[in-house]
């Protein structure tokens, strides 16, 4: 791929841990030049997070490595006048400033939106926070689990006996980062027409509620609160997790024709004549009975065998895999989803990092360099700032 959509876009990244770094990682994959501004001697907290204590002590924890390939790192103390002056110089040449401090922190450091707009009228300033920059909860601290609980997400996760349950990965951080990346791209597109910058106030809570989709909208329309249903799909049956000979199998026979095909393949056409299973609504009312009948037949073959047979017949079905299994899937390998890079510490180890899940003109987007060591580009900061400012002045002139 010779050119990416955000080639030439300059991103000043003041974020840490996940929501912000995930956002800037997506922007980097799209071609942006991302410079992380990190606290001297400490850096992004994610540098100390992950299951490998040695990497954490070295400041390249697994959590950091996952979301920071392809970026640069400079150390700047924003509590020091010289540091604030250095940031001002970088802001003048940036296209995007991204931060995920608690609401108002950057303003108290002297870089609120009015000041940033004064320094750079075309700047896209994106602030990610738990609850947004305004409102009665704007000053409350928030992590992913706090948002999962408050958004209602945990109330519909798990079974009636087990709920509320946390989703097994930081989904609210991820969704917040994706929302931020989407709106940054939209703001850059708008700026190409108007020449004006934008202040983006991203609320992780609101992004999470938006992502819950039907769980929220169905209640607002029907007045019926959603309930946790474990691995079952409330909208259809049979649609959920079933028992193959060697483990769990997901089947989503959401359409009548898919249900009929499933019964044919299982040799259970008797189910088609049972009034309890005649149509979608009847099957939903008698879900447990239907599941028992299907499980008795599905236990005859392995999950992989059913995945192949049912999929070939047009019935959505797939094994339930573990993380070690999914990262070795032939499908992901075929699509080039993972990229191999050298570890930043020069140890010779190979680092695998994830892509975006989108091919551009048939090619995956890949980082070109490993995640940076803390302050790795400190010596390049002045040259980088000069280059950014020259590019910004050229854009204004043109």
DSSP string, 162-219: T-S---SS-HHHHHHHHHHHHHHHHHHHHHHHH---EEEEEEHHHHHHHHTTHHHHHH
97 φ/ψ angles, rounded to the nearest 5 degrees: -120, 125
Domains of the chain: 10-212+331-397 (3.40.50.10540), 239-321 (3.30.1540.10)
- Residue 345's pLDDT is 92
| Structural tokens at position 338 | 């993972």
- Residue 2's pLDDT is 72
HSE-up of 71 (CA within 13 Å, CB side)? 33
- Residue 393's pLDDT is 87
| Close Cβ partners of 149 (under 8 Å, ≥ 6 residues apart) | 164, 166
- Residue 396's pLDDT is 64
Query: Would you name the residues annotated as active-site residues?
Result: 173
Q: Is the peptide bond before 238 cis (omega within 30 degrees of 0)?
A: yes
- Residue 159's pLDDT is 93
Q: Are 290 and 276 in contact (CB under 8 A)?
A: yes
Residue with tokens 């209640």: 219
- 398 residues of the chain, pLDDT tens digit each: 578 999 999 999 999 999 999 999 999 999 999 999 999 999 999 999 999 999 999 999 999 999 999 999 999 999 999 999 999 999 999 999 999 999 999 999 999 999 999 999 999 999 999 999 999 999 999 999 999 999 999 999 999 999 999 999 999 999 999 999 999 999 999 999 999 999 999 999 999 999 999 999 999 999 999 999 999 999 999 999 999 999 999 999 999 999 999 999 999 999 999 999 999 999 999 999 999 999 999 999 999 999 999 999 999 999 999 999 999 999 999 999 999 999 999 999 999 999 999 999 999 999 999 999 999 999 999 999 999 999 998 876 55
- Residue 109's pLDDT is 93
| Close Cβ partners of 216 (under 8 Å, ≥ 6 residues apart) | 152, 209
| Close Cβ partners of 378 (under 8 Å, ≥ 6 residues apart) | 74, 75
- Residue 395's pLDDT is 75
Q: Are 68 and 26 in contact (CB under 8 A)?
A: no
Which SS3 state, helix, strand or coil, does residue 175 take?
helix
Cα–Cα dist 15/101, whole Å: 7
C-alpha dihedral sign at 290, 291, 297, 303: positive
- Residue 1's pLDDT is 58
Q: How many CB atoms lie under 10 A from the CB of residue 145? A: 14
pTM, full prediction = 0.94
Residue with tokens 């400190």: 378
- Give the closest residue to 37 by CA, choosing from 376, 394, 362: 376
How would DSSP label each residue in 91-151? Answer: HHH-SEEEE-PSTTHHHHTT--HHHHHHH-TT-EEEEEESS-SSSTTTTS---HHHHHHHT
- Residue 397's pLDDT is 55
């Amino acid at each position: 791929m010779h050119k990416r959509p955000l080639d030439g876009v300059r991103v000043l990244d003041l974020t840490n841990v996940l929501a912000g770094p995930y956002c800037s990682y997506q922007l980097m994959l799209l071609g942006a030049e991302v410079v992380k501004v990190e606290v001297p001697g400490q850096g992004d907290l994610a540098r100390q997070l992950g299951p490998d204590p040695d990497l954490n002590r070295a400041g390249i924890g697994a959590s950091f490595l996952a979301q920071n390939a392809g970026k640069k790192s400079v150390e700047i103390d924003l509590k020091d006048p010289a540091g604030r002056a250095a940031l001002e110089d970088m802001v003048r040449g940036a296209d995007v400033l991204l931060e995920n401090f608690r609401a108002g922190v950057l303003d108290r450091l002297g870089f609120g939106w009015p000041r940033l707009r004064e320094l750079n009228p075309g700047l896209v300033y994106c602030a990610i926070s738990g609850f947004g920059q305004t409102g009665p909860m704007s000053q409350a601290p928030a992590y992913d689990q706090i948002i999962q609980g408050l958004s209602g997400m945990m109330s519909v996760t798990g079974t009636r006996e087990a709920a509320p349950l946390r989703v097994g990965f930081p989904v609210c951080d991820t969704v917040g980062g994706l929302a931020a990346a989407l709106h940054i791209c939209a703001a850059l597109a708008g700026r190409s027409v108007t020449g004006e910058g934008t202040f983006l106030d991203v609320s992780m809570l609101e992004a999470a509620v938006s992502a819950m989709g039907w769980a929220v909208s169905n209640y607002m329309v029907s007045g019926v609160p959603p309930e946790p249903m474990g691995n079952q799909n409330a909208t259809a049956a049979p649609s959920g997790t079933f028992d193959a000979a060697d483990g769990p199998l997901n089947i989503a026979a959401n359409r009548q024709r898919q249900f009929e095909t499933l019964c044919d393949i299982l040799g259970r056409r008797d189910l088609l004549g049972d009034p309890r299973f005649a149509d979608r609504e009847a099957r939903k009312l008698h879900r447990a009975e239907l599941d028992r009948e299907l499980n008795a037949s599905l236990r005859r073959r392995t999950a992989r065998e059913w995945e192949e047979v049912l999929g070939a017949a047009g019935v959505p079905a797939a094994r339930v895999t573990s993380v070690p299994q999914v990262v070795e899937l032939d499908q992901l390998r075929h699509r080039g989803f993972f990229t191999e890079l050298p570890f930043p510490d020069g140890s010779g180890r190979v680092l695998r990092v994830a892509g975006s899940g989108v091919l551009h003109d048939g090619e995956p987007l890949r980082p070109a360099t490993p995640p940076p060591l803390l302050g790795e580009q400190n010596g390049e900061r002045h040259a980088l700032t000069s280059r950014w400012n020259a590019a910004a002045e050229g854009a204004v002139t043109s």
